[in-house]
Chains A and B, each alone.
Chain A
Amino acid sequence: EVQLVQSGAEIKKPGESLQISCQASGYSFTDFWIGWVRQMPGKGLEWMAIIHPGESTTRYSPSFQGQVTISADKSTSTAYLQWSTLKASDAAIYFCVRRLTGGPTLDYWGRGTVVSVSS
């Protein structure tokens, strides 16, 4: 059974750094793209970034390029999303997703990590 287990909720201050994680299981981690989707409070889904752990290839939405960094650790089948300097506007739920090869389909979703950013 495919599972994407995300790290717990975070409460941070503006200007702080943050890394959230997503541990995958139930499939070959290096064979599928894995990525992140943002949902701000009361708003829609925003596609952020994906990485292919087997090839170390990344793709970023222009809206998020330079704002976050996606990475993956093949040894632990874990994907990460990192901020160097958080802003209040980064407060959201972040979903970890697996992307099917060859298309846009995100077939498995994690439960989400809530990130709160407030001074």
Chain B
Amino acid sequence: QSVLTQPPSVSAAPGQKVTISCSGNSSNVGQGYVSWYQQLPGTPPKLLISANNQRPSGIPDRFSGSKSGTSATLAITGLQTGDEADYYCGAWDYSLTAGLFGGGTRLTVL
């Protein structure tokens, strides 16, 4: 069981918006930054969002991140079939002095 909690799956129709939550505690999400990663089938994960809401170069603005307290959220607007993937949140745990991932959320674009 992951320390960071994500819903196992979400789904929405093309063109719609979906949000994925990531819940932690005061030792991790509540104390530092959250990152988000996208893993397309059969490929390595790719950084989507860093420092809660920063998009690396090349990531479309359809992807956005936010954080409030001990929870973070990834939002994807204008869903495309190519967005079908597993999404993971990541954070640093200051008590463990180690990194953490959420359990992952599978996005299905219906």
Residue ID in chain A nearest B54 by CB atoms: A105
Tell me if A59 is interfacial: C-beta within 8 Å of chain B: yes
Of the four ranges (under 10, 10 to 19, 20 to 34, 35 or more), the interface on chain A belongs to: 20 to 34
* Contact present for B45 and A104 (CB under 8 Å): no
* Contact present for B103 and A44 (CB under 8 Å): yes
Neighbouring B residues of A83 by C-beta, 8 Å: none
* Contact present for A109 and B50 (CB under 8 Å): no
Neighbouring B residues of A45 by C-beta, 8 Å: 37, 39, 45, 88, 90, 101, 104
Neighbouring A residues of B23 by C-beta, 8 Å: none
Pairs A–B under 8 Å by Cβ, sample size 14: A37-B101, A44-B104, A45-B37, A45-B101, A47-B100, A50-B99, A59-B97, A60-B98, A103-B35, A103-B51, A105-B35, A108-B47, A110-B44, A112-B44
Neighbouring B residues of A108 by C-beta, 8 Å: 47
The A-contacting residues of B in range 88-109, CB under 8 angstroms, are 88, 90-92, 96-104
Neighbouring B residues of A35 by C-beta, 8 Å: 99
